[in-house]
Amino acid sequence: MKKYIKVAALMAITLASCTKLDVNVESQLTSENFPVTPDAFVAATGTVYQKFNAGFGVDIWRMYELTSDEAIITARNGGYYDQGRYQTLHKHNWLPDHPIIQAAWQWGYAGISDCNRVLNLLEKSANSPTKTQFLNEIRTMRALYYFYVMDMFGNVPITSFGTSESPKQATRAEVFSYIEKELLAVSEGLSAPTTVTAEYYGRPTKWMAYALLQKLYINAEQYIGKPMYAESITYGDKIINGTAMALVSDYNTLFSPTNGANTETIFAAIYDSNYSAGNAITRYTLHASLRAKYNLPFSPSNAQCTLKEFYDTFNLPGDIRNATWLAGKQFLADGTTPILNGSVQLNFTPEIILTNTETMDVGAEVNGISRGVRSIKFYPDPNTNSSTRFQNNDMPIFRLADVYLLKAEALLRTGGSTTEALKLVNKVKARAMAAEVTSITLDGILEERGRELAWEGWRRNDLIRFGKYQGKWGFKAGNEGATRDIFPIPATEIVLNKNLKQNAGY
């Protein structure tokens, strides 16, 4: 799949270079070079995916993880304070001028705008089954962008191509209905491989549209005030019963630097450190002293880690997911040679103790101690680009384990079969080599979702649905109010578009 990304990127450049330099980007395809072959369609639509991937791995990841109990960036002896942008995400006291919130809005609407542009161009090409397929794929990608924008910001505009008028703000219910109708309209026209093969890995398939519908419906009560758990079960079943997809035997391969198409991942943000950059987990997470252990071509930045409360849930005997964290004293790959932090062995403490509560600063490292447990789930990549520090690990967006856990949750919420819910949860546990359970509750499902999907970008969404987002964790007081379940519309956008009304409480 990395080869596919490279070819798509190069073809997109080639198509653009065939036009005059003074032609607007909207007109980079003309009647003479409209795509005809599948490879040409791939190239013509490539920017939609490149935009998605580039923003998801950093800004969108931070919106969903740093506002939850899964990840935190503290100041470290003055570093990473950055005007408090990470601290306000953690404490839920962000304001409408927050730069990461603004970047998330811009990511969403840049992606939607690109989808609209590409759809407009493809509509003008000659009719063919290939054209129809790619139109359906880009409409699905547009629905995915809208899902994230609606999930983060609530009442947002539904935009169109080719108008100079400022778009009007739609209600969250209207955006929900738009996403639902688009997915229902195109899903049956999408490719339906038995499992998601390399050809479709990172592109929408019928199963990706179903997974997004399952996710849309499981959250419907939060979005539109109407429970739609039965519908969520229906679309989960369409994936479970309509495909040959199965959990991979080795959990860690899903996140490795060489990951790619497999029997479990339904859709992924695809990364190539040179041609499709965006995954910076190792750069921001690992300590510089770990460079030699993982043969990295750069020194990591020692920024983000997890909270002790969350790390403590990785406590099941034999669970292979426990090993996705680095805690305690650190050794080289031989397991015996200490890794030094200065002249003392590097020691990651689960406890994060602040020396300055206002700035959330942990102070200077003393006696080898560096605060916070570190994730190696997206395993450090020795082939990371040394200048950009982006790695090659793809990031799953939808995968079968999530489908199983969402269906189990919906069954419990509707009074459905607890036996079936338990069976689904135990499939996930068995793959992780954790002991199976004989009973399950909603809280138990949330905890299992945390273990299974940690740092995959779903935690904020989960905590809101389970009514836990305004809880107390780390250095967050809790009870910040339901207004914090959605982010403020960036102040700059309200200045630019007078049709926008700020979300309540901001």
Q: Specify the pLDDT at position 32.
A: 59
**Of 340, 355, 361, residue with least CA distance to 288:** 340
**Token pair for 330:** 């650190």
Query: Residue 194: which residues within 8 A CB-CB, separation 6 or more?
Result: 243, 244
Sign of CA dihedral 416, 147, 273, 66: negative
Buried b (16+ CB within 10 A) or exposed e, 91-108: bbebebebebbbbbbebb
Residue type at 200 in one-letter notation: Y
DSSP 8-class letter at 473 = B
**Of 260, 191, 194, 266, residue with least CA distance to 41:** 191
Q: Specify the pLDDT at position 161.
A: 86
| Domains in the chain, CATH or no CATH each | 2-274+396-496 (1.25.40.390)
Q: Specify the pLDDT at position 488.
A: 98
The strand pair at 72-73 and 265-269 is best described as unpaired
Q: What is the pTM of this model?
A: 0.94
Query: Residue 323: which residues within 8 A CB-CB, separation 6 or more?
Result: none
Query: Residue 47: which residues within 8 A CB-CB, separation 6 or more?
Result: 12, 114, 118
**Token pair for 260:** 């790619």
Alpha carbons 243 and 154: distance in angstroms, whole number: 33
Alpha carbons 168 and 156: distance in angstroms, whole number: 8
User: Which strand (E) or helix (H) includes residue 283?
Assistant: helix 281-285
Number of C-alpha atoms within 13 angstroms, CB side, residue 94? 25
Alpha carbons 77 and 72: distance in angstroms, whole number: 15
Instruction: Sort 53 into a burial class: Cβ within 10 Å, 0-12 / 13-18 / 19+.
Output: buried
Alpha carbons 27 and 19: distance in angstroms, whole number: 9
Alpha carbons 124 and 134: distance in angstroms, whole number: 13
Give the model confidence (pLDDT) of 341-355 as tens digits: 999 999 999 999 999
**Token pair for 445:** 């499902």
- φ, ψ of residue 182 in degrees (nearest 5): -60, -45
Give the model confidence (pLDDT) of 434-464 as tens digits: 999 999 999 999 999 999 999 999 999 999 9
Residue type at 285 in one-letter notation: T
Q: Specify the pLDDT at position 195.
A: 94
- φ, ψ of residue 291 in degrees (nearest 5): -55, -45
14-17 LR contacts (CB < 8 Å, sep 24+): 14/43, 15/40, 15/43, 15/44
Alpha carbons 179 and 91: distance in angstroms, whole number: 31
Sites in the chain below the pLDDT cut of 70: 1-33
